[in-house]
Structure 1
Amino acid sequence: MALKTDSLQLTHEILALVSEIDEFKGAWRALGTLAPERLSALRRVATIESIGSSTRIEGSKLTDTEVERLLANLEIKSFDSRDEQEVAGYAQVMETIFAHFAAIDITENHITQLHRDLLAFSDKDERHRGAYKTLANHVSAFDPDGKEIGVIFETATPFDTRGRMQELIHWTRSALNEQSLHPLLVVAIFTVVFLEIHPFQDGNGRLSRVLTTLLLMRCGYAYVPYSSLESVIETSKEGYYLALRQTQRTIRSAKPNSQPWVVYFLRALQQQKRRLEKKIEREHLVLGTLPELSLQIIEAVKERGRITIGEIVSLTAANRNTVKKHLATLVGANHLTQHGTGKGTWYGPKSPRGINHGKS
């Protein structure tokens, strides 16, 4: 593709940001043992923030409270305003991503389907949803009266769009499969080039943020649904657009400069994970709450499906009475389920409905 990624300078700041984000990615293993209802609550708050922020970035006026109220009644499938239609579409696509990200590879077909679903409730977009643009959609500046006063950025022509999208998708898949570039940098470059192409008549900004979440989750950043990246972008919108323009102006040149956007993107991811850390601290669910032995026991259950006290003692070399105490705590907190009593006792994954079997 035309974008030359070998021109990206891996500065100390970029390497430090990547390292910090990846460290948290690894630490999420401990948080994955939290009670399901707490994880579910964190995700619901983050989803509301993401939907509200992403649609407001594009001009919606709905507050997070109004978004939450609307999400509680999504089954009505009928909405009074364009803002509500956009929120409903974004919510539907986010749930699809969260539930099926492992099966949604980055392909033209999946991207156009996600665009179609994103605009599923938007009456204004009925003719062009799920299809590449047929008219120019350059990014323009407008005066307070809504009159266009100039083109800020020229996007790909309708004629060039399909070819450029195929080029971008091929590069992204190859870079991830071959691991020729760190996945965070691949996601950053995909996003900025996607927005430079602006492949659809409308909905490009919202879809770019959906695809960012999809790519991050496919790359193993499992914590992403629990903290809103869109909210971070909304609070730094001026920097977001500035970084985009600085990089987009050079993408097709002999000396492309990915630096401004990559740094902004990684800083936004850093802020996203730091917000999640603070939320966890506020709920007294600090990283590393579970002792190392408890984590070892949980990991062993995940790998084996079931385990006995004797097997844990052999595996960890821990004292039998200590193992019993950790198991009692894990069962009581619904991290594990006890089956049977006496010598026949074994332990399995947590009960999906919080019901423990047997006696502690």
Structure 2
Amino acid sequence: MKEYKPPYSITEDMLNLVSSISEKMGKIDVYHNLDAKPHLRRNNRIKSIHSSLKIEANSLSIGEVKDVIDGRIVFGAKREIQEVKNAYEAYNMIRKLDPFSLKDLKRIHGIMEKFLEEKAGEFRHGEEGVFNGDECIFVAPPPHLVPGLMTDLFSWMKKNKKKVHPLIMSAVFHYEFVFIHPFSDGNGRTARLWHTAILAQWNSLFEYIPIESQIEKFQSEYYKVIAECHVNGQSNLFIEFMLKQINIILDEIIIQIRKPDDILSEYTKKLLDVMDFGVPYSTIALMKLLGIKSRETFRKNYLDPALKLEMVIRTIPDKPNSKNQRYIKK
């Protein structure tokens, strides 16, 4: 019987992107700042969870996701709140996973779908398709083929984990998993987490790099590329797409960890310390967090310098004095 091999080929663009990503990871390793910043790691984890769930139509804001994780009361759909709790538990297990174990994959899916799906962690028994909103991208293979396809995929990964670069293998897995669509629900969330798990085994810093937030920015293209790969019969376009997104998100990570403290005043540092990444704050909310009563003092000493350094941005940049203005830590 012919040995299974996912249909893809290495292109010059892939090699260039792998080289660029490896170089950027080297820079992050040199700084070691990500390891020394638990607040940054936690916020990036929250961004990963929020974005991955948002791709699947979860309507909770990043602030609400953070509140759910922190154990605060959130008024939202019960299912969406449970999705956040499940995803947080699953992402916290990344270091304990064997990304080449089909058993571990089923276990993670069981956590992702806990209290949501009756047969969580079990392969589907019905027909399924991949959807972008209401649009069907393609119909997945029939259910009786799923166990064999998943076994073949993991066998290939195990056999080639020292031959195929993790950046390539993780993208190949991601596409093949989405194509097989092995579960009745939660396939996209599980695919994105497992992509991270494969990369985290290569370099542990990937555990806290929110690739999902970059995918969410280009969600339409994400589904379009998946559909094109299905038509082409190979995953080259998807691999290149994912490598590009990782290459871009690493630029943001480098900016996050390279901000030199010597250019920051004590006021700016205090402001940044009370802000979570990606969460919009009103002026009043920030003043309350800082314990400041004077709006003028807040703007002059805290907010304006942070805006000037582009470490904080406005949600409505063309209307700086809008009553609906909010500020986000970049």
Question: What is aligned with 1:156?
Answer: 141
When residues 27 and 167 of structure 1 are mapped into structure 2, their CA distance, relative to the original with a 3 A threshold, is: same
Question: What is aligned with 2:41?
Answer: 43
Tell whether 2:14 aligns with 1:20.
no
Match of 1:152, SS? strand
Match of 1:271 among 248, 269, 278: 248
Instruction: Please state how far the C-alpha of 1:151 moved relative to its aligned partner.
Output: 4.1
Q: Which runs of 4+ in 1 moved over 3 A?
A: 1-5, 140-143, 282-286
Question: What is aligned with 1:166?
Answer: 151
Question: What is aligned with 2:31?
Answer: 31
Cα deviation digits, residues 108-153 of structure 1 (max 9, x gap)? 211110000111242xx1x12010001111125666xxxxxx7430
Match of 2:68, SS? helix
Match of 2:93, SS? helix
In 2: Cα distance, 1:128 partner to 1:228 partner: 29
Question: What is aligned with 1:230?
Answer: 212
**Number of equivalences:** 260
Instruction: Please state how far the C-alpha of 1:227 moved relative to its aligned partner.
Output: 2.5
When residues 31 and 160 of structure 1 are mapped into structure 2, their CA distance, relative to the original with a 3 A threshold, is: same
Match of 1:119 among 113, 116, 138: 113
Higher Cα Rg: structure 1 or 2? 1
Instruction: Please state how far the C-alpha of 1:285 moved relative to its aligned partner.
Output: 9.9
Match of 2:92 among 91, 95, 102: 95
1:192/1:248 contact within 8 Å kept: no
Question: What is aligned with 1:347?
Answer: none
Gaps of 5+ in 2: 264-330
Work out the percentage of aligned pairs sharing the same amino acid: 25
1:86/1:121 contact within 8 Å kept: no
Match of 1:82, SS? helix
Cα deviation digits, residues 178-230 of structure 1 (max 9, x gap)? x332221111111100100000000000000110111001122x221332101
In 2: Cα distance, 1:164 partner to 1:284 partner: 51
List aligned pairs for 1:1-360, cutoff 5 A. 3-5=5-7, 8-11=9-12, 13-32=13-32, 34=33, 38-73=36-71, 81-97=78-94, 99-101=95-97, 104-122=98-116, 125=117, 127-140=118-131, 151-176=136-161, 179-220=162-203, 222-251=204-233, 257-282=234-259, 284=261
When residues 73 and 263 of structure 1 are mapped into structure 2, their CA distance, relative to the original with a 3 A threshold, is: same
In 2: Cα distance, 1:250 partner to 1:107 partner: 29
Gaps of 5+ in 1: 144-149, 252-256, 287-360
When residues 46 and 140 of structure 1 are mapped into structure 2, their CA distance, relative to the original with a 3 A threshold, is: closer
When residues 285 and 157 of structure 1 are mapped into structure 2, their CA distance, relative to the original with a 3 A threshold, is: farther
Cα deviation digits, residues 15-72 of structure 1 (max 9, x gap)? 111001111223333232x486x42111111011111100010010011100111100
TM norm structure 2: 0.73
